Structure 1
Amino acid sequence: WFFFTHIFFSNLHNGWVFSSTRSGLIGYYPCFWTCLDILVVFTDLPTCLLCVCLTGSVYCEEVSPDMTTVPALPKETAYLYARFNKIQKIGNKDFADILTLKRIDLTGNIISEIEDGAFSKLSLLEELSLAENRLVKLPMLPAKLTTFNANFNRLKTKGVKANAFKKLSKLSNLYLSDNQLEAVPHIPENVRTLHLQNNNISDVSVDTFCRSNDTYYLRPRLTEIRLDGNPVVLSKNPDTFTCLNVLPVGQYRR
């Protein structure tokens, strides 16, 4: 039986759906369906009393301070937006049964711990944002990720395993700015955008991006690098970027 205590008044208005509850306005969200594809109210899930549940998407934004854990999700959820809450930890069971997830956005919580197997079953996950949390180390990441954002955390190099990104062959965008990293981690071949600004990186070498034992090696896919805001002097190692088509953008020490 459906939970009718959470009543959706769905109005297709200029391509947007207006959604409300008894407690008042929740907001406007883009509508990509016809009038026949009205909002789905999921069964037996109190999450959908607290959040906005659309077909395949769950919006739990700024529910804080009530939301301190990852909410229970409908099994068909593909997109989760749980930004700006008070979630503290991600456990192995939080996403274990939600195998359809393609995007998770947990920006702006207070997550300090993620168990290593938390994302291990998410074979379809392509985008993961853990930005603006309190992480000191990274968990194992799913192989199909194309975008990973961990900006504004407390990551140090010892908290990022040497092979943390090695098997992410589809990774295109990697954001690790505003942390406490002392070195550039291993960067997969397909990465196009790399943001490492405002860390504690003091040195780069030929092997950071290129290969010292292969003068013919090229890395054309990497087209945007940010290293500004680090104590690194790029001119000390002029061969560091010889395999790239671009140089790091931003202002650097001389």
Structure 2
Amino acid sequence: MVFLPADEPDDAPASELPTCLLCVCLTGSVYCEEVVPEMTAVPTLPKETAYFYARYNKINKITNKDFAEIVTLKRIDLTGNLISEIQDGAFSKLTLLEELNLAENHLVKLPMLPGKLTTFNANHNQLKTKGVKANAFKKLRQLVNLFLGDNKLEAVPVIPESVRIIHLQNNNITDVTSETFCNGNNTYYVRPNLIEVRLDGNPVLLSKSPDSFTCLKSLPVGQYR
């Protein structure tokens, strides 16, 4: 519930209201969830913000100025918005960011991601392989959880060694190879960290590539017959 001062009209645009009037501001945290009136852009955040939640609004774009001065951010959750564009460099200054949730939006491509991410969630978007740069995740050496389910990916992206859980269910992935999860012809290579792989709901028949999973502790979830 949002309480407006007596001299503010009930239908004032969200962009014209102070952030901590629209949202709940606690020490280091800002909660802007299902804001009324509609929130269509990232609001101006207090500079000490570490945790920002703006789920289920109508934010449609992330600019390279939205978080440029909020270098203290550790978690951003923008689930359930209308985001179709994220400008290059939008997250480039967020050197402390560990969790980024962009699920349930309209993204067709990903920007460069911060190097210290441990969890990245882009489930339920419109991502295709051409919209995900080859090194989008490769350099994220602390990444543990990677969620890319319910998109339009045609191939499995390069997965950092640190990843423990990857969800790729309900995409358009048609093929996996010995390089997808393992290390080609190196039969001694073992990947101990990767404990959960979801490939269900893809057109790929995993039983055609049994040698592709020899380095894993368990077989991926998906279609085998």
Q: Which bracket does the TM-score occupy, shorter chain normalised?
A: over 0.9
Larger Rg: 1
Q: Which amino acid aligns with 1:194?
A: I
Letter in 1 for 2:39: M
Q: Confirm whether residue 155 of structure 1 aligns to residue 127 of structure 2.
A: yes
Alpha-carbon RMSD = 1.4
Greater RCO structure (CA 8 Å; 6+ sep): 2
Match of 1:34 in 2: none
**Is it true that 1:225 corresponds to 2:197 in the alignment?**
yes
CA contact (8 A) 1:231 1:253 kept: no
Give the counterpart letter for 2:223 in structure 1: Y
Q: How much has 1:22 moved relative to structure 2?
A: 5.2
- The answer to whether the 8 Å contact 2:180/2:212 transfers is yes
SS at match of 1:83: coil
Q: In the aligned structure 1, how far is the partner of 2:33 from the partner of 2:139?
A: 31
Q: 1:168 Cα shift?
A: 0.2
2:80 — aligned with what? 108
SS in 2 for 1:207: coil
> 2:223 corresponds to which residue?
252
- After TM superposition, give the deviation of residue 253 of structure 1 in Å: 4.8
Shift of 1:21: 3.3
Distance in 2 between the 1:203 and 1:194 partners?
Answer: 16
Q: For 2:140, give the aligned amino acid.
A: L
In structure 2, do the counterparts of structure 1 residues 60 and 204 end up closer, same or farther at CA, with 3 Å as the change threshold? same
Structure with the higher fraction of residues in strand conformation = 1
Please give the secondary structure, in 2, of the residue aligned with 1:62.
Answer: coil
Gaps of 5+ in 1: 1-18, 24-44
Conserved 8 A contact 1:90-1:111: yes
Give the structure-2-normalised TM-score.
0.92
Q: Which residue, out of 118, 134, 141, partners 2:113?
A: 141
What is the CA–CA distance in structure 2 between the aligned matches of 1:116 and 1:171, rounded to whole Å? 21
Identity across aligned pairs (percent)? 76
Runs (4+) off by over 3 Å: 19-23
Q: Are 1:96 and 2:68 an aligned pair?
A: yes
Give the number of equivalent residue pairs: 214
Per-residue deviation, 1:248: 1.1
Q: Could you tell me which residue of structure 2 aligns to residue 32 of structure 1?
A: none
| Cα pair 1:65 1:85 within 8 Å, conserved | no
What stretches of structure 2 of length at least 5 have no aligned partner?
Answer: 6-16
User: 1:166 maps to what in 2?
Assistant: 138
Q: Give the corresponding residue for 2:14.
A: none
In 1: Cα distance, 2:34 partner to 2:147 partner: 23
Alignment of 1:13-162 (within 5 A): 21=3, 46-63=18-35, 66-162=38-134
Q: 1:116 to 1:20 in 2, by over 3 A?
A: closer
Map of 1:234 onto structure 2: 206
Q: Which amino acid aligns with 1:160?
A: V
Deviation, structure 1 residue 213: 3.3
Q: Which residue of the partner structure matches residue 197 of structure 1? A: 169
